[in-house]
Amino acid sequence: MGLDKDSRYGSILIGVGAGLARWIMLTLGWTWKTRVVAGQQYLDALLAKPRAVILSFWHNRLFLSGPFVYKSLLGKGLPITLLASQSRDGELVTRVCKRWGIHTVRGSASRGGLQAMRAIHRAIKRQQSSPIMIPDGPRGPLYYFKPGVVVLAQMSQAPILPYGIAARKFWSLESWDRIVVPRPFTDVAVVIGEPQLVSRELSSEQLETERQRLEEMLNDLTRQAEAAVGAADVARRPSR
């Protein structure tokens, strides 16, 4: 059975939006003055001996992270997988990723979560593909490191590679997380943390302690990146 008119129009609009989003992201990204201010050795080690890692950063840095991941990892041959929600926004993200050659898995904690985690686990084990797992996505709470990322790391034994990223000048959108859109030609700083391996031997209580530790670590990396470019946390800024 074919799609109804509204579905066809919706699909066309998402396709146009995906192309526009990719163009904007790459065009803006090429103007940003991006530098890794700490942790370059972890990136160099990964590229010298490629393996699957779980890339983690906060949800409001998604737009900001796109060009960095594209140029520093995907563009240098590291396979990438992204978990995208089953919403319309997730469809837009999926189409943008397809144009970049990033494999996507559809699902979330509330819809298709178990199947999505299994698919990501297979991508890690069979393709040595590094998943992007945004610990406070897709709906928050903001800056809360959800346990699913920790469990995936424990099951797959792929280390979590956390990083903070920040822009000196940016717009913030009226979304739940005030997503960051850096302005043209602004400075962007990246602080990469040491890869974190989660032991198979941890109990449920120990996993919660590990989750809290990783949350604090990612917050600290993000604050370091913000300090490097003299930017305040977007979540504490008034709307403009």
Full-model pTM: 0.86
Domain chopping of the chain, boundaries: 5-236
DSSP one-letter code for 177: T
Higher pLDDT, 24 or 195: 195
Tens digit of each residue's pLDDT (9 = 90 or more) over 148-197: 999 999 999 999 999 999 999 999 988 899 999 999 999 999 999 999 99
Higher pLDDT, 38 or 22: 38
Q: Is 194 left (phi over 0), alpha (psi -120 to 50) or beta?
A: beta
Helices (H), the chain: 5-31, 40-48, 62-72, 88-100, 113-127, 147-156, 204-229
Helix (H, G, I), strand (E, B) or coil at 51: coil
Most confident of 39-48, 111-120, 168-177: 39-48
Distances (CA, A) of 99 to 15, 18, 72, 104: 11, 9, 17, 11
pLDDT attached to residue 63? 87
CATH fold for domain 5-236: Glycerol-3-phosphate (1)-acyltransferase (3.40.1130)
Asked whether residue 49 carries a pLDDT value surpassing 50, the answer given is yes
Neighbours of 23 (CB within 10 A): 12
